[in-house]
Chain A
Amino acid sequence: MTARHAFLAALMLAPVAAPATAQLRADKPADLSQPVTLQPGQGAIVVGFRRPDKPSAGKSAKVDFRRYDSATQDIVLPPENAKETGDTTTYHVRVKSAQKQLPLEHVVTVVSEGEYVLFGASSGPAEIANTFCFGAPVFRVKAGEVVYFGDMTPYVFVKLKDGSRAMMAVAYSSFPEDARKALEGRPELAQAFRPAENRNGATYRCAGTQMLAYQIPAEYMPPPPAPPAPEPVPEDAAAEPAAVTESE
């Protein structure tokens, strides 16, 4: 092979071998057949697509996240000149299922650190046309962390227990251990893995045809923080009688 051929081969392989990079819109999954390197200021979001029953079998799904600011209770939009200034902040994350025949798959997307809110979701071939602006889960991705959001189960025109049908649903569940196992082949991701500390009820500006709320069911929410332990009483203080002030 000549030097020129070697150079061309390297050029062709470069996009595959290069570490995943965050961008304004992150819509490409990390290639888990290669080492995934998180750059400084980057983390990753893991989303599972779970198809546990006949109605969800063979269905694809898409999920959108947006950068969020809890202080302003709104999504964060990219500045107009973001591209010109080389802004590498992730503002929009699109996660798509890739293998709809599988009962369970996990998709890893590299993003820049920050807060993300669930923005919309769809099942089947339909585009995402909804927004969960009336209340949605929000979570934080810190630099170097691989954060598991949860599993999404796609339903289209599914029959409900009351006999009616839901035109579309993307059911939430959470199985962190399954996600952790899915990353076992990528130790650099597995060691940075942690489940998201999701918080329901984040609202933001409504920009979508169908405006909804999406609430993670209580059974999948992280347990409330334990109450602070009582401060230990110093041994000396415990031995001494309580000070008593007497007044005449």
Chain B
Amino acid sequence: MSSMFAALLAASFFQSATVSEDQGSPAAEAAVTASAPDTELTDEDRQDAARDLKDSRFYNKPGATRAEYERDWNECRLIARGSRTPGGVVVVPYNSAIISPAVAAGAGMLGGLLGGAIAEGSQRRQNRQTCLLVRGWALVDVDDATKKRIAAMTEAERNAFFEDVVGSTRPGMRKIRWNNEFAAPRVAPVD
């Protein structure tokens, strides 16, 4: 029983963000949070944001610019680290008063499993992704042909491609969006 509980608990940590897939239609869900105020980005920040513009995945929000993507990506990174609120306020990275003892106990029970995952940043990356999806960005599931095309591009061509594609409105991209699955799951009917 306890191992099943641990597995369920672990699964709950590593479940993917609430996402759905569709074919190139405009954002079906309104973003729930407003973007935080503009921040000055460094070249390093821009390079970091480019880590999620790859042949295998990239973000898209029709009408948005590359600069808006870089700003949102970096803000979401700070939020996922706990050093900024989604409203844009800088906070202390950790405050024991807002972690319930029960959560701490649960985390302790799973010990190295959770600690390792968090340290590696997989959950942080997942949280950053959810943050971007909630802000109205969609994660594009790149098809094999496009992957090959991007992989064959020079750096300049790739840069120009992503400059355009982050705000592209053209249909045909298979997108993963935020869809409120935790509060409104589309549960399959059971006999």
Contact = CB atoms under 8 A, between A and B. Distances in A.
Interface of A: 53-55, 64, 66, 72-75, 77-78, 92, 94, 121-122, 124-130, 133-135, 155-163, 166-172, 200-201, 203-217
B60 interface: no
A155 B85 contact: no
B94 to A, nearest CB: 8
B190 interface: yes
A129 B187 contact: no
B188 A129 contact: no
Nearest to A203: B86
Contact of B9 (A64, A127, A171, A172): A127
A158 B86 contact: no
Interface stretch (B51-59, B65-73, B103-111, B155-163): B103-111
Given A73-B85, A211-B79, A129 B9 contact: yes
B131 A134 contact: yes
B25 interface: no
A75 B12 contact: no
A209 B87 contact: no
A160 B180 contact: no
A79 to B, nearest CB: 9
Given A171-B185, A210-B126, A134 B134 contact: yes
A216 B183 contact: yes
Contacts of A172: 183-184
B85 A204 contact: yes
A159 to B, nearest CB: 5
B168 interface: no
A55 B190 contact: yes
Interface in B58-114: 79-80, 82, 85-87, 89, 91, 94-95, 97-100, 102-103, 105-107, 114
Interface of B: 5, 8-9, 11-15, 17-18, 20, 32-33, 79-80, 82, 85-87, 89, 91, 94-95, 97-100, 102-103, 105-107, 114, 118, 123, 126-127, 130-131, 134, 178, 180-188, 190
A168 B86 CA distance: 23
Contacts of A166: 15, 18, 181-182, 185
Nearest to A121: B182
Nearest to A57: B190
B9 A126 contact: yes
B182 A169 contact: yes
B182 A170 contact: yes
22 contacts: A53-B187, A53-B190, A75-B98, A122-B12, A125-B8, A126-B9, A127-B9, A129-B103, A134-B86, A159-B190, A160-B185, A161-B186, A166-B15, A171-B184, A172-B184, A204-B85, A205-B91, A206-B82, A212-B18, A213-B130, A214-B180, A217-B184
A213 to B, nearest CB: 5
A100 B114 CA distance: 28
